[in-house]
Structure 1
Amino acid sequence: MAEFSDYIVYVDESGDHSLTSIDADFPVFSLSFCVVKKDEYLSQVVPAMQALKFKYWGHDSVVLHEHEIRKSKGDFTFLLTDRSLREQFYEDLNQVMVDAPITIIASVIDKVKLTAKYANPWSPYDLALHFCLERLQAFLRENGQEGRLTHVVFECRGKAEDDDLELTFRRIVAGEGHWGYRKHKFEIMEFEPKFAKKSVNSTGLQLADLTARPLALRTLRPGQSNRALEVIMTKMGAVKEFP
């Protein structure tokens, strides 16, 4: 049996990766890897998230989703009714992020610039995934994880999409997905993709979900004030904007 890594990685995205129909209002794609030590995830991250849920809902079956929080939908409609409660919720949620011992590795692809620069560009998802895996490998190597098996957890999107993503992932780590002037050597690490349904209510996936859009907005609207982004940037291990 493989020796497991001390770290686990949770992944989420913001924006779509289509190059045939680019949304003029959101022409970027971001991919965020939230990397966390397993012992700290168990002892700090999960309890803090559970405490937040019990405080505001009285149970822990709620799934924190950035879009629903931002739009005050579903389980978050209470944010519309009481301004002081809304402000307290955001303060508490930001504190969970502040306290979370996570490292964020991210990539943001400007699809307009990408299509303008390259005649036959790679998929923004493939590019972002490649960038993030390169930097994840460097991070793990620096932290003594060489030769260990690291799981990278994605949220399920549908069988066909998940199958395509897994194939792309495995090709990249097998060294078949290199581009540009050099071939990156992934074989010194072992990576395994895992896919989890939203109903699993993964704390790690919810943290990743809270990071992807603010990072996209950093590229799309530089200089715009964003409290969530301010917190996220204190956790940043690496971010690659391309092209």
Structure 2
Amino acid sequence: MTQADNDFSDFIIFVDESGDHSLTSISAEFPLFALAFCILRKTDYATEVAPALDSLKFDTFGHDLAVLHSRDIRKQQGDFAVLRDAARRAKFLSGMSAVIAEAPFTLCVTAIDKIRHKERYRNPYNPYHLSLQYCLERTYRFLIAQEQRGKRTHIIAESRGKAEDKDLELQFRRILDENEGWDHHFELRFASKSCNSIGLQLADLAAYPVARHVLEPEQANRAFDIVEKKLMTDGMVGMSRATRPSHRVKGYEGIGLKIFP
């Protein structure tokens, strides 16, 4: 086996966002953009996570073609119209919570308050591009701590259209160019929603409750209580308690969850 045959990382990363990154039209109800990196060890993904979510689909719909999307679940539309039945909805939500709670993955989220971002900066940076940079920085440190130096990690993002994908890829390359040594650690790939990627669906299900928590931190949020335990901590990126900022209350603040500005 050649080095080229054996340079793949043990991990794979799925990316999803909550909210939109537009700074020209900001929703008063949801003025936030959040980007989530869902990091999984490939063996865990193939043997535990994907089979568990597929089983949930079979139990709920009788097939595995339904694409788990947090908005569709909340609106009970499309395949999720079956959740209008209270008993089926309760069983599905309980099952989904159990699967996510038991799934071994690490979550890295950047949340940008778009109103404050525009108020603070004369020429505010694109929220998606800024979030991508922050998530890549912390994910790189996580992978190095996991002894993945020199190995290639695939980042799977949902395709948003030809122009949008091209723009994101350019920003991705720019970030790698500005960080010497990162280029051989990351490879960006796009996947359409129709490909029914379990990893992208998991990232979607994890992103929304974090965004909702950032918007309304005092409101009860059972979904966040579950994914909070998945957020990347300072120990995961090799940061000791002695070196972490004194103002941090929880180990994931500024690491697994970065709120900006």
Using structure 2 for the length normalisation, give the TM-score: 0.87
In 2, the alpha carbon distance for the partners of 1:186 and 1:32 equals: 23
Match of 2:153 in 1: 150
- Secondary structure of the 1:26 match is coil
The runs of at least 4 consecutive aligned structure 1 residues that moved more than 2 Å come to: 184-189
State the Cα distance separating 1:84 from its structure 2 match: 2.0
Match of 2:217 in 1: 222
State the Cα distance separating 1:33 from its structure 2 match: 0.4
In 2, the alpha carbon distance for the partners of 1:185 and 1:126 equals: 18
Match of 1:180 in 2: none
Q: How many residues align?
A: 234
State the Cα distance separating 1:187 from its structure 2 match: 2.9
Asked whether the 8 Å contact 2:32–2:111 carries over to 1, the reply is: yes
Matched, 1:192 2:187: yes
State the Cα distance separating 1:72 from its structure 2 match: 0.3
Instruction: Return the match for 2:165 from 154, 162, 169.
Output: 162
Matched, 1:41 2:36: no
Matched, 1:241 2:236: no
Deviations along 1:43-63, one digit per CA (max 9) or x if unpaired, are 100110111011111111111
Deviations along 1:116-154, one digit per CA (max 9) or x if unpaired, are 111111111111101000010010000000111000000
Matched, 1:79 2:97: no
- Secondary structure of the 2:63 match is coil
In 1, the alpha carbon distance for the partners of 2:134 and 2:115 equals: 19
Asked whether the 8 Å contact 1:31–1:128 carries over to 2, the reply is: yes
Identity, in percent, stands at 49
In 2, the alpha carbon distance for the partners of 1:188 and 1:31 equals: 21
Asked whether the 8 Å contact 1:72–1:79 carries over to 2, the reply is: yes
State the Cα distance separating 1:70 from its structure 2 match: 0.6
2:259 corresponds to which letter in structure 1? E
Match of 1:15 in 2: 19
In 1, the alpha carbon distance for the partners of 2:17 and 2:137 equals: 17
Asked whether the 8 Å contact 2:177–2:183 carries over to 1, the reply is: no
In 2, the alpha carbon distance for the partners of 1:132 and 1:194 equals: 16
Instruction: Return the match for 2:70 from 43, 66, 71.
Output: 66
Superposition CA RMSD, Å: 1.2
In 2, the alpha carbon distance for the partners of 1:43 and 1:17 equals: 34
- Pairs within 5 Å for 1:171-210: 171-175=174-178, 184-187=179-182, 190-210=185-205
Match of 1:56 in 2: 60
Asked whether the 8 Å contact 1:29–1:124 carries over to 2, the reply is: yes
- Pairs within 5 Å for 1:72-111: 72-80=76-84, 82-111=85-114
- Secondary structure of the 2:186 match is strand
In 2, the alpha carbon distance for the partners of 1:72 and 1:42 equals: 28
Asked whether the 8 Å contact 1:27–1:112 carries over to 2, the reply is: yes
Asked whether the 8 Å contact 1:108–1:242 carries over to 2, the reply is: yes
In 2, the alpha carbon distance for the partners of 1:138 and 1:26 equals: 31
State the Cα distance separating 1:188 from its structure 2 match: 7.4
In 1, the alpha carbon distance for the partners of 2:129 and 2:181 equals: 16
In 1, the alpha carbon distance for the partners of 2:181 and 2:33 equals: 24
2:16 corresponds to which letter in structure 1? D
Unpaired runs of 5+ in structure 1?
176-183
In 1, the alpha carbon distance for the partners of 2:31 and 2:69 equals: 21
Match of 1:231 in 2: 226
1:46 corresponds to which letter in structure 2? A
RCO (CA 8 Å, sep 6+): is it higher in 1 or 2?
A: 1
